[in-house]
Amino acid sequence: MIDRPTRRAVLAGAACGLASHGIAAPGQPFGPAGRPSWSGDGLQAAAARTGLTFGTEVPGFRFARDPAYRQAVAREAGLLVCGTEMKMEVVLAEPGRTDFSQGDALVRFARGNGQRLRGHTLVWHEALPPWVPPLLARATPAQAEDFLRRWIETVAGRYRGQIASWDVVNEVLAQDGTRPDGLRESPWLAALGPGYVDLAFRILHQTDPMAAPCWNEDAVEQGVPWMEARRTRVLKRLEGMLARGVPIRRFGLQSHLTSTLPIDQGQLRRFLAEIGGMGLGIEITEFDIDDRAFPADIAVRDRMVADFARRYLDVAVAEPALLNVVSWDIYDPDTWLNDHPYRKRPDGLAQRALPLDAQFRRKPLWHTMKAVFSEAPDHAARRAKLRG
């Protein structure tokens, strides 16, 4: 008896805070669109030749305090994405209050520089503020749906018209596929049932019809049987979503590649072609290379990272449905891999996962990416069509 009013009150309070926040009109308050900022010799200029966009994740703390960093992302990238600043843990850190300050700053910057934006990420089992999982656990399905709707309307509504594609769901597949539907156990699944994935896509599409709704998934890139099994599950689910009329337009491969596993170019090529064949766009959304299997020596390691990247990117850029190549930051010192318990190098050295080094110098990985983009087949017409 005590539980019911409490639950209702908490949900109403959270929803109230969400609903009371003003939704910005398109173009406001982010300023006028500026001229493209990227340099003629950078990664974006090379990618654009074939209709691709090169982008990078930007961590808010670095963006806010380092002008050299801001110059680098303006010079190299045609697309930006917030690492954490549009996640629920930042936007809704406390119930009933929204914080868009850091997300707004990046949107304003990208807009001023003529850069596209991705949105990351609406529904994920991680990055939930601590007050949300217990709230979802207590909610009825109708209350949980209301909360999901208000959350998506709040964040995607604020950036309506500014975001080229939104990661509607992130990492929804279980590692091993123990459930017949392949979904991972999560607070969203528990509260809403397996229909939460389709539902989130429909809500985003209603909220911002200009943003391409994207399913972003990890561990679908490399040549090992368990990833091949995940690729099969992705294709099956995509077919189902399209058959059900779910408004999905893109599939994102996170592409946190690891040097400990092989790349099977044939398997990768077939997977991308299957997705492209369904009429969907494809994005590489979080590209980086965990170099832990490579030796400590920097020159050797950088070469091996670059060669490894080439095996992956050569196949990807040949697929006409590939639209964006987004690296998960561009600047080695900030890679998340160094903070991750299973991804940091066992020898304690910093990962050399990204295109620019600690002095913002272009590394062998940068030169390889530039070469891959420069040599890629020209699919500009197909890509323009898929962007819509």
Residue 276 in the binding site for ligand XIL (CB under 6 A): no
CA distance 317 to 323: 9
Contact assessment for residue 251 and residue 285, using Cβ atoms and an 8 Å cutoff = no
Task: Kindly state the smallest distance separating residue 172's Cβ from ligand XIL, in Å.
Answer: 11
Residue 55 in the binding site for ligand XIL (CB under 6 A): no
Contact assessment for residue 301 and residue 347, using Cβ atoms and an 8 Å cutoff = no
CA distance 346 to 290: 11
x-or-dash string of contact with ligand XIL, 310-349, rule CB under 6 A: --------------------------x-------------
Tell the residue number behind the tokens 């999982």, with chain if given.
133
Residue 84 in the binding site for ligand XIL (CB under 6 A): yes
Tell the residue number behind the tokens 């006409």, with chain if given.
320
* Binders in 168-187 for ligand XIL, by CB under 6 A: 170
Task: Kindly state the smallest distance separating residue 122's Cβ from ligand XIL, in Å.
Answer: 12
* Binders in 237-256 for ligand XIL, by CB under 6 A: 254
Pinpoint the alpha helices (H) of the chain: 3-20, 43-48, 60-65, 67-76, 88-91, 101-112, 132-138, 141-158, 187-192, 196-207, 225-243, 265-277, 298-318, 364-375, 380-387
Tell the residue number behind the tokens 């459930």, with chain if given.
179
Give the residue with the Cβ less far from ligand XIL, 100 or 336.
336
Give the residue with the Cβ less far from ligand XIL, 109 or 336.
336
Residue 286 in the binding site for ligand XIL (CB under 6 A): yes
The amino acid that residue 131 corresponds to is W
Give the residue with the Cβ less far from ligand XIL, 291 or 314.
291
Give the residue with the Cβ less far from ligand XIL, 8 or 125.
125
CA distance 329 to 318: 23
Contact residue for ligand XIL among 60, 83, 103, 213 (CB under 6 A): 83
Give the residue with the Cβ less far from ligand XIL, 286 or 291.
286
Residue 60 in the binding site for ligand XIL (CB under 6 A): no
CB-nearest residue to ligand XIL? 336
* Binders in 10-29 for ligand XIL, by CB under 6 A: none
What are the residues whose beta carbons fall under 8 Å from the beta carbon of 25, sequence distance 6 or more?
Answer: none
Q: How many chain residues interact with ligand XIL (CB under 6 A)?
A: 7
Contact assessment for residue 250 and residue 282, using Cβ atoms and an 8 Å cutoff = yes
What residues make contact with ligand XIL under the rule CB under 6 A?
Answer: 59, 83-84, 170, 254, 286, 336
